[in-house]
Amino acid sequence: MSKLYFKYGVMGSSKTAEALMCRFNYIQKGFNVLLLKPNIDNRFEQEDDKPKIISRIGISAECTKFSKDEDLSILFIKENLKQKIDIIIVDECQFATTEQIEQLKQISYRTTVLCYGLLTNFKTQLFEGSKRLIELADSLQEIKSVCKCGRKASVNARFVNGKLTTCGEEILIGAEESYESMCYWCYKQRLKNK
């Protein structure tokens, strides 16, 4: 039975690596996988490259990108005409719109959809796509990571010029140069000391 899955974690919790390993596993068993990511995620891309999803540990795969105003139901139909799609895997799903998550829910009645992404932004507030996934997903699974202190990391803290910030646009594409995952206690301590 097809379902909509949401697997979430903080930055650096190996969400993308897990998504790519999941893709490999399905392909190895003979399934056709449609790998998707929002086009806002342009890390690691060169202009002449085909779109790819690349994890920090170096594994990658070609993917199909979608824009904020794209109807994922139509995209699915087009891709399904090329070859039957058995599984859809979406990386960085937090950047999807409410409508796109609702489209993925509809698709999940026919085809399994696995979404991987962040739960909250650097202000500890839910992303639009993540909020709707919590409301609609058939299965929620946290991919755990650890703070430097040893506690479970739950915050994607943003740093500008080495200083923790809670100001700025919600989306700033980056990695270790801009973000650190930490527990809420360490996050609050850093906020007090800034």
* Number of other residues whose CB lies within 10 A of the CB of residue 52: 16
Q: Examine residue 162 and state whether it is found in any structural domain, yes or no.
A: no
pLDDT > 70 fraction of the chain, expressed in percent and rounded: 92
Query: Looking at residue 183, what is its pLDDT?
Result: 96
- Domain hosting 110: range is 4-143
Residue 76 within a domain: yes
Domain-embedded: residue 44 = yes
155 in any annotated domain? no
Mean pLDDT within 105-126: 96
The count of domains in the chain is: 1
What pLDDT was estimated at residue 163?
86
- CATH label of the domain that carries residue 69: 3.40.50.300
Q: Taking the model in full, what pTM does it have?
A: 0.92
Position 171 in a domain: no
Alpha-carbon distance values, 106 to 9, 69, 71, 109 (Å): 24, 17, 12, 6
- How far from 3 is each of 15, 89, 109, CA to CA, in Å? 19, 12, 7
Question: Does residue 52 lie within any of the structural domains?
Answer: yes
Catalytic status, residue 128:
no
pLDDT computed for residue 176 by the predictor: 63
Tell me if 132 is assigned to some domain: yes
Is residue 81 very low, low, confident or very high in pLDDT (cuts 50, 70, 90)? very high
Does residue 118 sit within a domain? yes
User: Which of 45, 70, 79, 92 is labelled catalytic?
Assistant: 92
